[in-house]
Amino acid sequence: MTVVPVAADVLLSHKEEIIEAWIHEVRTSPATTIHKVLPDRKIKANLGFLLDVIAESLRRDGPAMEYRLDDGANREARHLAELREEQGFSISEVLEDYSVLRRQIMSLFQRDLKVSTPEAFEVDARVDVVLDRALKTTVETFHSIETGDLQELAATDALTSLYNHGYFWQRLDQELQRAKRYHHPLSMMMLDIDHFKTYNDAYGHLYGDLALKEIAIILRGDRRRSDVVARYGGEEFGLILPETRIESAHLVAEKIRQTIEAHPFKRRGGAQTSLTVSIGCAGFDEDQVTDAKQLVEKTDRALYTAKGRGRNQVCSYRIRPVQEAVAAS
């Protein structure tokens, strides 16, 4: 198979020219003007790497179809998808990115590359193989991001932007199975806003919704990346804490309780007021918990105990050696 290394030299010597022409064409496209503009340094690094890969393919022996992208090339193709998705581009606009790049490369070769017809066909084939395989990676990544965004949206509570009730149960079951399999600790907590109906009646549902959003922000701020925070329903929130023993979960819950108690909640006229919460905690015990429903029931019992004892406190579910279940703070 004929190899055309001179084409690689031409490509690399005009790399900056191709990138600048690509940026100009894409940015002046009517479709692109509605999106945020990519920083030059990001796109130059991205396209520059892909052009290097094309040059490498032009220098290699063997049939064009045998060429495979290495990890670096696939990484840059994925990165282009991430950049475009972040900008709000559609998949058709991503396809056009590659079409523009191919046009710029072929225009350069037609102008500066003097080769025979068979060699020209070989150059075209090698450029097409690299761009097609990079495009495949970009499109797959783009679709994966879009699918993930849709799944995230379906699992999110519209008011608080926390996970919703359904996702909470799904993740709790997953984390419970993992804790069983590897004999790792797992805890959860349920948090309920004290006298929230009275708060809504006094200040109105708009300020009630605002209070829910502010509590959601506090809960997100106090969590680790591995924790799951959800709006369980109404004024109740659920938290899943993997790799956490009940003693540590109790301390986390107490910190959350104190933070919410000290937080100034806004109400009509710019004034501020306060809210408190009751929190129940329970930990996974292999001898006493067989499924997610049982763990939630134990957490609920601890929460009811906290409310029964006067609210604004944390109670954790314990198991006595004689197997008698109690909720103890």
Cβ(329)–Cβ(306) below 8 Å: yes
Burial-class residue 234 by CB neighbours within 10 Å (0-12, 13-18, 19+).
Answer: exposed
Residue 315, pLDDT score: 96
What average pLDDT does the structure give for the chain? 85
- Of 27, 50, 59, which Cα lies nearest the Cα of 105? 50
Domain boundaries, the chain: 5-154, 165-328
Report mean pLDDT in 10-residue bins for the chain, 329 residues.
Answer: 74 91 79 57 81 87 73 82 79 84 91 81 87 88 75 83 92 91 92 96 91 94 85 96 93 96 86 95 83 94 96 83 41
Whether 105 and 7 have beta carbons less than 8 Å apart is answered as no
Q: State residue 36's pLDDT score.
A: 57
pLDDT at residue 193, rounded to an integer: 98
Distance, CA of 113 to CA of 124 (rounded, Å): 12
Amino acid 164: pLDDT: 93
Q: What is the pLDDT, as a whole number, of residue 1?
A: 44
DSSP codes, 221-266: HT--TT-EEEEEETTEEEEEEET--HHHHHHHHHHHHHHHHH--EE
Rounded Cα–Cα distance for residues 220 and 237 (Å): 11
CA proximity to 278, closest of 248, 304, 249, 312: 312
CA 207 to chain centre: 30
What's the token pair of residue 232?
A: 């369980």
Q: Tell me, what's the pLDDT at 39?
A: 61
What tens digit of pLDDT does each residue of 229-239 get?
A: 999 999 999 99
Q: What is the pTM of this model?
A: 0.58
On whether the CB atoms of residues 64 and 125 are closer than 8 A, the answer is yes
102, 106, 108, 113 alpha-carbon torsion, rounded to 10°:
140
Q: Per residue, what are the HEC states of 101-128?
A: HHHHHHHHHHHHCCCCHHHHHHHHHHHH
235 is catalytic: yes
Alpha-carbon span 329 to 312, nearest angstrom: 12
Q: What is the CATH number of domain 165-328?
A: 3.30.70.270
Query: H/E element holding 193?
Result: strand 186-193
Residues 6+ apart with CB under 8 A from 253: 189, 191, 279, 281, 314, 316
Q: Which fold has domain 5-154?
A: Globin-like (1.10.490)
pLDDT the model gives residue 32:
54
**Looking at 86, 214, 235, 247, which residue is catalytic?**
235
Rounded (5°) CA angle 141-146-149: 125
pLDDT of residue 40: 65
